[in-house]
Amino acid sequence: MPAYLLPCACGNSVPVDIGQAGGRVACSCGTQLDVPTLRQLRHLPREIVAEKKKSGGSWGTRQGIVAASLIVAAALSAWGVWIWWTGPVMPTFDPATRLRAVEEQIKTPAGAWEAWIDYYHPMAEKGVPVFRVGNADVVESHIAHSRFMRWMLWAVAGIFAIVAAVAMFWPHPNRRG
């Protein structure tokens, strides 16, 4: 808000704002001055406020681009790390767990017969197959998709980091005029 200058008999001017209209203020010489009403206040000269020079700490377009690019790059990198950390893995075959499951199944004659029909009869005819998880193709597809997403996120994050570096180190245009 602009301040108005109220003259004093000593030669000083006391800055007053519209909130002080109709009240009293003290000059540095000690004289109590009556502040005019709001309607009369506008006829007083206004205080000249010197513009604050922009310091090095103020933000411009360049700093905004750098900050936004770095924030996006950090978010994409974090997303890539999260995908890497929580991504699917191919299950491993644990012979001890399989042995326990088979032993549990063959405790009863009916379970032994089912195990023979399901597992051992085909092995006797065709040989021992290589163990493969039933949904291995789906798991491998998820792993490939996860790997692709992770690398794409990191690539885009790298692009944003390069944009931030270019914006930070690009020379300022000469301002003449």
Summarize the confidence of residues 38-49 as an average pLDDT.
84
Local structure of 127: helix, strand or coil: coil
pLDDT for residue 162: 94
Would you put residue 32 in left (φ > 0), alpha (ψ -120 to 50) or beta?
Answer: beta
Percent of the chain with pLDDT over 70: 87
Q: What is the mean pLDDT of residues 8-27?
A: 90
- pLDDT per position as a tens digit, 48-100: 776 555 555 677 888 888 999 999 999 999 999 998 898 888 777 788 887 88
- C-alpha angle 165-171-176 in degrees, rounded to nearest 5: 150
Closest CA to 1 of 57, 41, 59, 28: 41
pLDDT of amino acid 81: 92
pTM (2 d.p.): 0.46
